[in-house]
């Protein structure tokens, strides 16, 4: 379980963009993050991914107080929490499989990287993730020949292939048509339910969040103003965002 307590983020010499944010992330939970432009959604994800330093608060991941662990804490987060920025890119000239294998390279000895030899475990792990994304038949297709939704799902496979238990994803369905968006969100939901992976996804579209998320949290001006079960939001709740 992940426990975020009183997270704050002050930009050095600039504004305070997050303050007093507290919430838990349970295993297998799909949390949608909503809020107006500039409310701090991306910054929240970047702080959870430890891509940004915290100005205050505590961050407990599976009982470990991450901020007190320095570099070790950062390494734990990189290992256990996958982060996918908005519109992740694939290498267009490489196959979907090779793109997913990139997610395993930090565990791969240099000589294998140089010779291009793939360990059978890595190959099986990558194919397994591609299958979970429902894209086995596209494994040998080049990245630039995949549709927007397929690229997003391959990027998710790449982010998770090294065994992360949590995925932070910034606007995973932005720019996708409704059918592709539905496919991406169904895959994310399935991963939560079948593998116990937790997902925290920034989502602009309220109706997608209401349909797919177990919980919706909302930010306004850097503060947490909403934390509800995934359901249709009331007009009053929408006004808070």
Ligand X SMILES: Nc1ncnc2c1ncn2[C@@H]1O[C@H](COP(=O)(O)OP(=O)(O)OP(=O)(O)O)[C@@H](O)[C@H]1O
Residues that bind ligand X (CB under 6 A): 11, 14, 17, 35, 37-43
Question: Measured from the CB atom, is 38 or 163 closer to ligand X?
Answer: 38
- Least distance to ligand X, CB of residue 237, Å: 17
- Least distance to ligand X, CB of residue 169, Å: 13
- Helix ranges (H only) for the chain are 41-48, 71-80, 96-101, 110-115, 120-132, 148-160, 178-195, 206-212, 235-240
Question: Measured from the CB atom, is 38 or 178 closer to ligand X?
Answer: 38
Question: Measured from the CB atom, is 53 or 194 closer to ligand X?
Answer: 53
Helices (H) then strands (E): counts for the chain: 9, 10
Question: Measured from the CB atom, is 139 or 173 closer to ligand X?
Answer: 173
Question: Measured from the CB atom, is 19 or 104 closer to ligand X?
Answer: 19
- Least distance to ligand X, CB of residue 24, Å: 21
- Least distance to ligand X, CB of residue 10, Å: 10
Backbone angles phi, psi at 20, to 5 degrees: 55, 35
The answer to whether residues 75 and 37 touch, using CB atoms and an 8 Å cutoff, is no
The residue count of the chain comes to 241
- In the structure encoding, which two tokens stand for residue 226, read together? 């909403």
- Least distance to ligand X, CB of residue 35, Å: 5
Quick one: which of 226, 229, 224 has its CA closest to 22? 224
Quick one: which of 138, 143, 148, 130 has its CA closest to 91? 143
- Least distance to ligand X, CB of residue 69, Å: 25
Sign of the dihedral defined by the CA atoms of residues 162, 46, 35, 217, in that order: positive
Question: Measured from the CB atom, is 17 or 173 closer to ligand X?
Answer: 17
């Amino acid at each position: 379980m992940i426990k975020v307590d009183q997270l704050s983020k002050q930009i050095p010499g600039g504004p305070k963009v997050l303050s007093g944010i507290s919430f838990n992330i349970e295993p297998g939970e799909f949390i949608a993050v909503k809020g107006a432009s500039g409310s701090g959604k991306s910054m929240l994800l970047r702080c959870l991914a430890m891509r940004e330093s915290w100005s205050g608060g505590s961050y407990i991941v599976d009982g470990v107080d991450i901020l007190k662990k320095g570099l070790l804490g950062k390494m734990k987060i990189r290992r256990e929490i996958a982060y996918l920025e908005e519109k992740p890119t694939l290498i267009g000239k490489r196959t979907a499989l090779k793109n997913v294998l990139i997610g395993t390279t930090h565990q791969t000895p240099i000589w294998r990287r140089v010779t291009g030899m793939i360990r059978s475990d890595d190959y099986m792990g990558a194919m397994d993730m591609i299958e979970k994304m429902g894209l086995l038949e596209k494994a040998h297709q080049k990245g630039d020949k995949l549709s927007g939704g397929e690229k997003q799902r391959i990027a998710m496979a790449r982010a998770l292939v090294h065994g992360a238990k949590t995925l932070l994803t910034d606007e995973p369905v932005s720019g996708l048509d409704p059918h592709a968006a539905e496919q991406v969100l169904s895959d994310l939901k399935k991963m939560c339910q079948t593998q116990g992976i937790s997902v925290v996804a920034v989502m602009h579209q309220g109706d997608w969040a209401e349909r797919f998320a177990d919980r919706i949290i909302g930010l306004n001006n850097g503060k947490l103003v909403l934390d509800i079960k995934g359901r249709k939001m009331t007009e009053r709740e929408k006004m808070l965002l």
